[in-house]
Structure 1
């Protein structure tokens, strides 16, 4: 076999390979890739440099650079099937969300090989299997007890069974006459609905089911499924009361929580990742449709971040991103979600925050970012960021419109001089 024929066979293999293959150096500069890799990278890169793996994926998988940088061995598998979730808004989806699996192998100190595979349909099937597993698992195993209560339309407890005492530690005689929301508080930070909202949905739909952390009388937390069912007499149009069933489902062990954090957090900053942000956004959109409570979005982008990376290097840039995520997340309300959406762009999702509250928080975030000081070899580095605010009300319930409005105002803030907050009135001016 001649050298020429070997090259031809290699090219034929690369072109025929059903997955994306590429080779790059430690800085991400691509030396070779096949057509399938181009098909994946070019749409993801957009205006960014498609000849650099990290730049091409910066908007959708900014954590990839830090994952590779943290790999200490001279050779070996850096990541296996790392999932890149492409779409953010639900309206961008047709049949299934676009998901790319990325596997990176380190072949030498300055040589990386990566594969890119479209696993969108596989992810859909996995979600269906998980839903089925959760449903049947809750029916067949892992349930310690059922607790039943009867409450009035105003939430006052009328009666309870012995299982309620065993499960929660509260004596039924001590809670009769009290408001259920005072006895069993919901976890606002986890996105649980208030009791009055649960009763509203149960009255409208006949029943309402939610899961979340519940606290026993001694302070111990446990994972609980709460079913609220409307009860009414035959001649009554409005419910005369509600039945509440609580099920202790010990399915959130420490290992599961660690896995949950791994799947929902950005590898570099610890903020929520795009996938988790998208899931919460869709959940809150559904609750907005049902209850019409306020929902606001803040997007922020660090000013001149490319200059920081070019001047001080990516390690300093990573420190900057972590500091920004820390100070911003600390200012969010309990139910707020702070996420890294890509590169130097972050988002804050604010359930139950109206326009004025969101603008006020955005100003606080802007001030906090401007107060960050990072020590570098060239001296103290200061930061600023530009902000855009929008509400789901003005987007008429559309996630895509909400994101587009916030992005539009973010870039208006950039064009107006940076380090400022733009919202509807400011944009109109």
Structure 2
């Protein structure tokens, strides 16, 4: 799919919409009329059928089936069954992914597992490497594991540390023989910048480190091939581009070569080899179910499948082509029509380095986003001063992008954002 001619008209973009192979997917989401939703990178919209699926779990499987539904309705196997579906979207094989817990908990498990392998193979490696601009919880989890290991080994010289890549320390400089684990977000949550997964994974392995990819802003938005990249672990959420619902369960992928060596301290009963034997000591399951912990949230998990089914019906190459076309259009129109108002693009223009959201900095970023929301264009705000716009090809059109930029231009030109109501900070931005 080629990008429609830029410096174009709304009429030209309407023609592009008529020829859009993904246009029918918009009907598979329940979206309010007269609203342009540019925040699917934070919370995806409601897939048609999700409410009915939740009602089925509550009114049939729970109300009538009661506890029998763990077997009869397939509740017990749902984490693995959905994991196999999701695996197809990220370059995984059957038996390598489970849907479970939260991204933060799954990252904890992955880092713990990778550190344990390195303790056995290269105990001198005690650095967990990530980047300063990573999503904060990823840094916090790394710090928590490091602090825990240091408290346990307080009387030894086995000191673990978290090292951060930033403007003063490149990945190449940071990857030395002390690094045990490299944990990166494939697509940066703030800027939309995307790492070259193949090249980074290869570099880390050459340096002797294991690699964990956070796919929260990548899965369902950009092509991902974990096995093709020879990655070690990956985690991510299902409530952004996979449209699983607010707080829906996350996922964890583990390369099959590591599953037999897996260890993590959250050894709950669902990861036991035979949970209903009620054994008084732990024996890990011999597959990816080792990454489960406790009883699963069935209603939320059931809705995840609705979003996965939509994503699996779309060709990922076509999704990526349209994503690049829409983000190119958005970037160019903002430059052409809003260039005089001080918006600073912080998202890469190079296609190979860009995910599926576009971000700008502006000193009044929060108030501008609130004014946009007041006009029916929903984006979001991230510190410092970042206006963030998720460009989701399955339900956004070319004319949506044109209209959103026109509304942005009007808000900036009239200073409609400059009122107290738009400056008052909500708890969630």
- The answer, yes or no, to whether TM exceeds 0.5 is no
Q: TM-score, normalised by structure 1?
A: 0.26
Compare relative contact order (CA 8 Å, sep 6+) and give the higher one, 1 or 2: 2
Q: TM-score, normalised by structure 2?
A: 0.26
Structure (1/2) with the larger strand percentage = 1
- Highest CA radius of gyration, 1 or 2? 1
